[in-house]
Amino acid sequence: MDDTASGGAAARILSAAEELFAARGFAGVSARDIAERAGEKKASVFYHFGSKPELFQRVLERYYAAHAEALGSASAGPGDARERLHRLIDAYLDFAEDHEAYMRLVQHEIAAGSEFLPEVQRGLALLLDRVQAILADLVPATGPLSARQFFLTFSGIVNAYQVFAPALGPLWGEDPRKTGARRERRAHVHWVADALLAGLEGERRRA
Amino acid sequence: MDDTASGGAAARILSAAEELFAARGFAGVSARDIAERAGEKKASVFYHFGSKPELFQRVLERYYAAHAEALGSASAGPGDARERLHRLIDAYLDFAEDHEAYMRLVQHEIAAGSEFLPEVQRGLALLLDRVQAILADLVPATGPLSARQFFLTFSGIVNAYQVFAPALGPLWGEDPRKTGARRERRAHVHWVADALLAGLEGERRRA
DNA sequence: GTCTATATCTCGATAGAC
DNA sequence: GTCTATCGAGATATAGAC
């Protein structure tokens, strides 16, 4: 059994590393910081995980698994394209709300051109697959209205709120993490999805 | 005259810092790294800029000024809301293409919860202002269709391509920096803008 | 498995010759 | 203004007692 699954020292270190890496990035966190937050000694970090880069990979892997699981069932079920798209959006938003630290971490590492990029790409590839499956009969295979363009657009829309809004602070007015603010954002994203579907419908009628 | 404007040692250091901070964030770059890329000695970095945080602020300020200038004229001119919105989008896309390193840097620092966030917020506040001025008579003042929601949505859409697409690599198929790929993305963003404007038009007719 | 202690390195920053 | 040399702090990582 994986010793990081239960409540031992390794699990506490992994959780602490998760929070700190997400908050300050790979380079901004030291093994001492992680040990302190975990309530362990620094040497214990190296005993359980070998090195700082290895610990970071473990953090990424753990989240990747959670992300894949969250999206797995949401989009595969019954319903037409519109219903499945809205379910996928909700699943993505749910996951983003429950794993804010992860969203920041991924955003951080992608922006940094991280050496751990291959791990991140696996997660994105899965999501692109889902979107392509849903949009397959609504959009052209290539060009400005292809599935990959919409995938990138929706990723940006969801991530922007999760990562940017808290940083906007006074610019945004209210705390973006409050329930009311989240509900408003969710309504916005669903409205956008419907507006784009209506636009695609117009394109199909025209053709 | 500013000694960083011409081609002296200070200018080379500033350019090197710009690239490295954008690639790896503030904490991921050392003064030695910067000096080496600039072809200067480490002591020269401190002589010209005092400290690493001061150098970083200089990098941010330089870009902030360029960003403000780029958006200033684009959205203020004549035309109806649709025309001005498309001009703003083009200006943003132009700037993003010409200053890819800056986009990554801002994204990086926001995701990291940087201590330099106030500087970044000034740039975002300006853009939010522009969007609000353009959308003022098209959208409600509050709620899911308010200007700030669309601002965040469009920021996400533009940033996603600039920051995510290059990281997607093989997932994307072709090099996102090639002219053809950029033209396709630009057409996509303008199409999205028109679809959302059509949706807003529908809302207004319904009310 | 978990500690203390420490080896070794690199960091930001400075002093002082030139 | 630009160099070499170096400081003290804090980093990763390891050795070895328990």
- The partner residue sitting opposite B169, judged by closest CB among A25, A121, A202, is A121
Strand D nucleotides with an atom less than 7 Å from a protein beta carbon: 1-5, 10-16
Amino acid at A145: L
CA distance A9 to A74: 34
Beta-carbon contacts of B39 under 8 Å, excluding residues fewer than 6 positions away, are B12
CB pair distance less than 8 Å for B121 and A169: yes
Written as six digits, the tokens of B186 are: 């630009």
A191 touches strand C (CB under 7 A): no
Q: pLDDT, tens digit, for every residue of B145-196?
A: 999 999 999 999 999 999 888 888 788 888 999 999 999 999 999 999 999 9
User: Is the shortest CB-to-strand distance from B42 to strand C under 7 Å?
Assistant: yes
DSSP string, chain A: --TTTSSSHHHHHHHHHHHHHHHHTTTT--HHHHHHHHTS-HHHHHHHHSSHHHHHHHHHHHHHHHHHHHHHHHTTSSS-HHHHHHHHHHHHHHHHHHTHHHHHHHHHHHHTT-TTHHHHHHHHHHHHHHHHHHHTTTS-SSSTTSHHHHHHHHHHHHHIIIIIHHHHGGGTSS-TTSHHHHHHHHHHHHHHHHHHHHHHHHHHHH-
Distance, angstroms, CA A15 to C1' C4?
A: 25
Comparison of pLDDT for B146 and B114, the residue scoring more: B146
Q: Is the pLDDT of residue B77 over 70?
A: yes
Pick the closest to residue A37 from A111, A101, A107, A116 (CA basis): A101
pLDDT at A142: 94
Q: In sequence order, which ranges of B51-112 are alpha helices (DSSP H)?
A: 52-74, 81-98, 100-111
Residue among A93, A152, A172, A184 with most chain B CBs within 10 A, to mutate: A152
Phi and psi dihedrals of B140, rounded to 5? -65, 160
Range of A44-48, A162-166, A170-174, B56-60 with top mean pLDDT: A44-48
C-beta within 7 A of nucleic chain C, residues 1-30 of A: 3, 8-10
Q: Residue B2 pLDDT > 70, yes or no?
A: no
**Measured distance CA(B133)–CA(B191) in Å, rounded:** 21
Please tell me the total number of residues recorded for chain B in this structure.
207
CB < 8 Å to B25, chain A = 25, 27-28, 108, 111-112
The average confidence (pLDDT) of chain B is 90
Contact A27 B23 (CB under 8 A): no
Contact with chain B for residue A12, Cβ under 8 A:
no
Neighbours of A206 (CB within 10 A): 6
pTM: 0.91
- C8 C1' to B118 CA distance, Å: 38
Across the range B86-111, mean pLDDT stands at 88
> In angstroms, what separates the C-alpha of B39 from chain A's closest C-alpha?
23
Q: CA A113 – C1' C11 distance (Å)? A: 22
Using the Cα atoms of residue A55, residue A36, residue A167 and residue A102 in order, give the sign of their dihedral. positive
Spatial separation of the C-alpha atoms in residues B83 and A134, rounded to whole Å: 32
Residues in chain A: 207
The pLDDT of residue B20 is above 60: yes
A198 in reach of chain B (CB within 8 A) = yes
For residue A112, the chain B residues in CB contact (below 8 A) are 23-25, 28, 104, 108
Q: Which is it for the CA torsion B30, B36, B42, B48, positive or negative?
A: negative
pLDDT score, position A131: 86
Q: Report pLDDT digits (tens) over A81-99.
A: 899 999 999 999 999 999 8
